[in-house]
Chains A and B, each alone.
Chain A
């Protein structure tokens, strides 16, 4: 009975992950489209149709790469966090240290993933897009999803306790 419940919950995680992931990727696609139009418009105005076409192609490749990395890295570390949280069995408080190392690693991996994604986004088309609202918004979304979303998801789905990993981490969390 308990195993079946756990199986259902794992299925739930995968389903939620797919939905959220698809939504994120679709959002990224929309942002990318918006940004492409703006790049093409500005390039056309500044350098003419041929340059605009070349710049747009390069920008498109950069944006696609950035999207891919955002998706891959946050999803990998985030899913790893969730799955690890699901199957973590702490029999003895002495084991908390070992689990904290894994959790901490996944957490840092998530941070790095968000950082790499932000780096790509900020560098693909020059300083003009550094403060692009949509790009910044998506970065925040990715980091937010990594930090809060997966915690909430793992906690809610497996113990109905949103802060489960945080509390179980014990030594790493000050409260």
Chain B
């Protein structure tokens, strides 16, 4: 049975998991197509903006290099394999309508009967929660978020319309899989998660019940607390999310889920709970808006891997409970280390020893390095004459019919460069920022291409230039792997036959990708 896949990131952590999913899709670990969307009341949230931008860059690169009429990678090539579909409205649903400032305005408190007011006052603190500005999310108040989401999820909303339209366009007999990912300890994720799952299941089943043989399976990944940030100074009447409260909120939420499942109400066919042994310290915290651009962290990659496992599982695998604990290695130095062995495979039936995730991610990362740091800049208009007679260029670019000085070819170059740059910055940030005291992340060594300093978007910046030492370090950027170096790649590009089933710029890009295998 063919399937349609839908991924929904709820809240800031959820949107960052979608960001991670995008990069795994680029590495060829995803299905043919995935519909992606976000749920966040704070549409200006920096985390959400960055994830949307990442999806946008991916889609642009995918559109340029997966176009059967122009430039095309081979159908079997894993690079940029998944078609990420974004709904017409941009794929973001905000449960807080524009122009609504706080909960009192949203629920029309002023127009309520005295009894209704008393009820609301007893549920939500009148001067704090009811008047808390909602434009930056629910700030660690899931009870408020749940009420808002239920009240606002109407069929007239473009987000829901798009979702149902996408689902209905899936032909009869399709297996529909929806995966939601968010945090259990924040505001939006904790509030929206169970509510959205229940709403979706109910509405989808109502909508498609006439379609025979279709089945809807909903999976989810919930983050337990995995980061902490220095608390902001509290001003009168302003509510902030505090990381000190995360553990208590998570505990309460887990009890809620426990009760839910013990009563037989299972909004999810499969639910992943993702915990982390050490809270990862973030340098700063903003309450929302575009200032809230937290760096990507390794647990978000696990969330994306959970989504992929759910998508790749067979029908029986989805319905069965999974209890799994990711181990990590106790290093000689006394600190624990997370390495490639600790990442689960995305095909549940595949043994962990196949290392598919490691190989695909490493290949993507290496290709991104080689393209953005070495070959891409040489294909720029101003520099291409200098390499025009070299064998790799003649065989893989010129003879493939690429008019390198044409606008179209240069647009492909820019789109690929932009996305690959994002890949490097994202993985470098994961490597730099995910380690906590006593727990070291040892997946890649970004010292040959990235600085320590983060930019405004929460990602580390890349080195301005590439010196000889950096080039020599290239073969060691993937930890625990002795991969081929840049000279081997240069030679392979000079000699390898053009990859089959490729067109124009797809020839060079696939050749480069293949040469970067580990």
Chain B binds chain A: yes
**A residues within 8 Å of B by Cβ?**
89-94, 96, 159, 161, 164, 167-168, 170-171
A91 near B468: Cβ-Cβ < 8 Å: yes
Interface centre among A92, A167, A168, A170 (most CB of B within 10 A): A92
List 30 A-B pairs, Cβ < 8 Å.
Answer: A89-B485, A90-B490, A90-B491, A91-B487, A91-B490, A92-B374, A92-B471, A92-B486, A93-B375, A93-B378, A93-B390, A93-B392, A93-B393, A93-B490, A94-B378, A94-B386, A94-B387, A96-B390, A164-B491, A167-B391, A167-B494, A167-B495, A168-B491, A168-B494, A170-B387, A170-B389, A170-B390, A170-B391, A171-B389, A171-B390
| Chain B: minimal CB distance from A91 (Å) | 4
> Is B67's beta carbon under 8 Å from chain A?
no
**Chain B residues with a Cβ under 8 A of chain A:** 374-375, 378, 386-387, 389-393, 468, 471-472, 474, 485-487, 490-491, 494-495
The distance in angstroms between the C-alpha atoms of A127 and B495, with both chains bound, is: 48
Per CB-CB distance, the 6 closest pairs between chain A and chain B, nearest first, are: A170-B390, A91-B471, A91-B486, A89-B487, A171-B389, A167-B391
| Minimum distance in angstroms from B421 CB to a CB of chain A | 18
Closest beta carbon of chain A to B490's beta carbon, Å: 5
Taking CB atoms, residues of chain B closer than 8 Å to A93 are 374-375, 378, 387, 390, 392-393, 490
**Dominant SS among interface residues on chain B:** helix
Chain A residues with CB below 8 A from B468, complex form? 91
Most buried by A among B390, B471, B472, B474: B390
- The complex places the Cα of A94 from the Cα of B374 at a distance, in Å, of 9
Which residues of A lie under 8 Å from residue B390 when comparing CB positions?
A: 93, 96, 170-171
Q: Is the CB of B491 within 8 A of A159?
A: yes
Shortest C-beta distance, B85 to chain A (Å), equals 37
Distance from B264 Cβ to chain A, minimum over Cβ atoms (Å)? 59
CB distance from B142 to the nearest CB of A (A): 53
Chain A residues in 8 Å Cβ range of B486 = 90-92
The interface residues of chain B lying within 8 Å CB-to-CB of A171 are: 389-390
Q: Are A161 and B495 interface neighbours, CB within 8 A?
A: yes
CB distance from B376 to the nearest CB of A (A): 12
> Which B residue sits closest to A95, measured CB to CB?
B490
Knowing A91-B487, A92-B471, A94-B386, say if A168 contacts B378 (CB, 8 Å): no
CB distance from A161 to the nearest CB of B (A): 6
B198 to chain A, nearest CB (A): 56
Question: In angstroms, how far is the closest chain B Cβ from the Cβ of A163?
Answer: 9
Given contacts A94-B387, A96-B390, 11 further A-B contacts (CB under 8 A): A90-B486, A91-B471, A91-B486, A92-B471, A93-B392, A93-B490, A96-B387, A167-B391, A170-B387, A170-B389, A171-B389
CB distance from B508 to the nearest CB of A (A): 13
**Cβ of B394 to closest chain A Cβ, rounded Å:** 9
Q: In the complex the two chains form, is A91's CB within 8 Å of B472's CB?
A: yes
Q: For the complex, give the distance between the alpha carbons of A151 and B15 in Å.
A: 56
Q: How many Å lie between the Cα of A91 and that of B468 in the bound state?
A: 8
> What residues on B are CB-neighbors of A96 within 8 Å?
387, 390
